[in-house]
A = this chain, B = another copy of it.
Amino acid sequence: MPQAAARPTLEAVAERAGVSRATVSRVVNGDAGVREALAVKVRRAVRELGYVPNRAARSLVTRRHDAVAVVIAEPETRVFADPFFARQLRGISKELTARDVQLVLLLTEGRDDHERVGRYLAGGHVDGALVFSLHLDDPLPGIIHGAGLPTVFGGRPGWTGGVRYVDCDNRGGARQAVRHLTALGRTRVAHITGPLDQTSAVDRLDGYRDVVPEGDPRLVADGDFTPAGGERAMRALLDRCPDVDAVFAANDLSAAGALRVLRESGRRVPQDVAVVGFDDMLPLAEQADPPLTTVRQDIEEMGRLMAAMLLRDQAQGPGQGQPQPDAPDAGGGEAASEEAAHVVLPTELVRRESA
């Protein structure tokens, strides 16, 4: 029965400092109302003994866990073709670390996992959840929302009401991209969409239409955020409208596919056809030929804000059970406030050589 190095307990610290457990607890938790003289003694004892509070024991009584779950609902596609996800995690991690909150990562592989994740979250092992789900028909967000756990979504979910989320300004970013192309004098600006069961793709399409409301419908081709989809769409575009002189691709991956097809077809980029992507996915965007002009979003900041938003009301006490009342800001505005029920981060056009 290996005795695992017998960690010192509060009791041990109390004895060494010559005070009661309660006093040690107060000092350790930074509660006011302990004479400095005693506090000093306690802190010394803590240091000498290498005392570390037992989280399990603490959770048992406080009913808090100082842990939040990060649920990523789509390992199969984009998430793993893209450092996007890693950046967001980094932002989240920074914020959580700063508040001494643990990050429990939940990756779901498919429908089977939904139940498991739902059970875990409803099981009261974490104080909140940060959820990424890209598809409108994904039941997981609903399950989680229903679990009565404070939750913040990454990316606008496909439904409204009582939901908190952080997103980038997909629509505004799309407008930036398309305006850039029209400012270049391009008159036949096409759009390669993303999969339209994702709000980001829908929003980018909407942004495109904002700028080209009278647009030729044949200039819009379906993509799916993959290079192969971008190739297909670009071929269709070239076929239908040989006079196309600009393309706004819904992401950099499909832009890469489009570039390849344009090159094959003998078009020069940007001279014959200008191309703008979205995401500023590195190293792809930089290494593309020619380097891709694209719309950048501050992914890490999105993660940070998600965590901050979730933790904002964490202090109030253990698992509230109810999401916050909705208090949307203007919606799609560029200002970001942690007071809002959703935050939409601005995007930035990064000019390289493709447009």
Contacts and interface: CB of A to CB of B under 8 A. Distances in A.
Contact of A105 (B79, B81, B89, B227): B89
Given A83-B82, A283-B256, A284-B284, A52 B2 contact: no
A69 to B, nearest CB: 9
Interface in A200-258: 227, 253, 256-257
A63 B60 CA distance: 14
Nearest to A52: B123
A338 interface: no
Contacts of A103: 104-106
A180 interface: no
A116 interface: yes
Contact of A93 (B90, B93, B105): B105
A260 interface: yes
Interface in A74-89: 75, 79-83, 85-87, 89
Interface string A127-151: 0000000000000000000001000
A318 B54 CA distance: 14
Contact of A56 (B50, B60, B257, B289): B60
Q: How many copies, total?
A: 2
A52 B122 contact: yes
A124 to B, nearest CB: 6
Nearest to A317: B2
Contact of A4 (B54, B63, B87, B253): B63
B52 A60 contact: no
Given A90-B75, A107-B93, A256 B287 contact: yes
Interface residues of A, number: 64
A65 interface: yes
Most chain B CB inside 10 Å of its own CB: which residue of A85, A89, A104, A227: A89
Contacts of A93: 75, 105-107
Most chain B CB inside 10 Å of its own CB: which residue of A1, A82, A109, A287: A287
Contact of A80 (B87, B106, B148): B87
Interface in A1-24: 1-2, 4-5, 7
Nearest to A109: B94
A37 interface: no
Contacts of A105: 70, 89, 93, 103-105
A85 B124 CA distance: 29
A35 interface: no
Contacts of A90: 75, 80, 107
A298 to B, nearest CB: 14
Interface of A: 1-2, 4-5, 7, 50, 52, 54-57, 59-60, 63, 65, 67, 70, 75, 79-83, 85-87, 89-90, 93-94, 97, 102-107, 109, 113, 116, 119, 122-125, 148, 227, 253, 256-257, 260, 263, 282-284, 286-289, 317-321
Give me the 5 closest cross-chain CB pairs, A-B, nearest first: A56-B59, A52-B123, A93-B107, A4-B319, A56-B56
